[in-house]
Amino acid sequence: MKRRFDIAEELENGFVIEADTGLKWHRERFRVLYADTDKAGAVYHANYLKYFELGRAGLIRATGKSYKEIEATGMFHPIVDLRVRFENHADYDDQLSVYARPREIEPVKFGYDYIVRNDETRTLIVHGYTVHCCISKRFRVLPADPVTVKIFAEFGVVRAKR
């Protein structure tokens, strides 16, 4: 399980280099709303998936096109699998960052990794992943669209051999 996440270098456009691994990630900052909390006083677990969406959208946009533009070409990226692991709780009004990067790409599936961290305290909050496929409006499974292939190539994540 991942216990640390430190930044070695800040690049342009919200990209950063992770200290331990040398991996590139994209960062989106946000603040925890009252709406995101529950009666235990911390962020309700399901809301981390919205933060993951924020991170994924920022990563895609930062490579040149938005997910909205991908959908405008008639392709959708529904989630087929996701996992979230919780290390620490986050509280109301905390200034958090979600870090996202491509995870792996297969012929008809591709995934993203996420880290949510409190940048002020450097506390790792959650980490997880989502796996997507690429479908047409009529639910036909397609190969990953060119924008997605480009993102994965830029991060050096190549199609897994089977």
Query: Contact residues for its own copies (CB under 8 A)?
Result: 31, 33-35, 37-42, 44-47, 49-50, 53-54, 57, 66-68, 76, 78-86, 89, 91-93
Residue 60 in contact with residue 151, Cβ under 8 Å? yes
Considering the complex, what minimum distance in angstroms separates the CB of residue 157 from its own copies? 22
> Measured on CA atoms in the order 6, 12, 159, 71, is the torsion positive or negative?
positive
Q: Which is nearer to its own copies, 87 or 119 (CB)?
A: 87
Structure tokens at 34: 């009252």
In angstroms, give the least distance from the CB of 139 to its own copies.
8
* Of 86 and 153, CB closest to its own copies: 86
Query: Closest approach of Cβ 78 to its own copies, in Å?
Result: 7
Q: Which residues share a beta bridge with 96?
A: 30, 118
Quote the least distance from Cβ 156 to its own copies, whole Å: 27
* 22 vs 34 by CB, closer to its own copies: 34
Tokens 């990226």: give the residue.
77
| Minimum distance from residue 5 beta carbon to its own copies (Å) | 18
Nearer to its own copies, 1 or 22 (CB): 1
Burial of 116-145, coded b for 16+ CB within 10 Å and e otherwise, reads bbbeeeebbbbbbbbbbbbbeeeeeeeebb
The residues, ordered by sequence, that sit 6+ positions from 71 with a Cβ below 8 Å of its Cβ are none
> Based on CB atoms, which residue is closest to its own copies, 3 or 40?
40
